[in-house]
Amino acid sequence: MITETLYSQYFTALLAGNRVQCTEIVEQLLDKNIPIYALYTDLFQRSMYEVGRLWEENKISVAVEHLTTSITESLLALVYPTIFSAPHKNKSIVVSCSANEYHQIGAKMVADVFELNGWHGYFLGANTPVTDLIKYIDNKKPDLVGLSLSIYFNLPVLSKIIDNINTHFPAQDILVGGQAFRWGGKEELHKKKNVLYLESLDKIAQVAE
């Protein structure tokens, strides 16, 4: 498992923009066959939540926040050979950030968790236009659609996207999550049809299993 000492070393390197040291730490953990899920929750997710907190409190700059995100996304690629080698079942999920959303790392991790559990995960990235999302859902006909929201003020945009999906695909199940809901908005989701809010990777993994 990831000790506090190792996490501290990693987080210090991450804030310093030391991509080499961060990569070495992750590679060492992979060599020790650390469970991928533990790597995602105890290192990647934990560190990015802390980065977000520091940014919100104006303790780090936007530049530092962007750099830590870039490094973390590059580290996710180190895990992909393991993730994509998992036996796949006949299930799929389309994961997307809402329009006007540019924080995509959480959504990417969600798609990876489903891939790790044998799903076909289609990650569409940041700021996906709703018209393109609808077309892609129509093309893939997934079992689930996952939507990520990082910025609370984009909640009305997410609401319209959900309504759009419900209009075109009345039976489509939708998963919603993201850091935006720390500030509220869950009550809005309760009004929507076929929507399940998941607050953590733990809950997401349970659904994927």
Which pLDDT tens digit goes with each residue over 85-139? 878 889 999 999 988 888 899 999 999 999 999 999 999 988 899 999 999 999 9
| Tokens linked to 77 | 């690629």
The whole-model pTM stands at 0.90
> CA separation (Å) from 26 to 32, 98, 160?
10, 30, 39
| Tokens linked to 171 | 């039976």
Residue type, 32: K
Q: How many residues in total does the chain contain?
A: 209
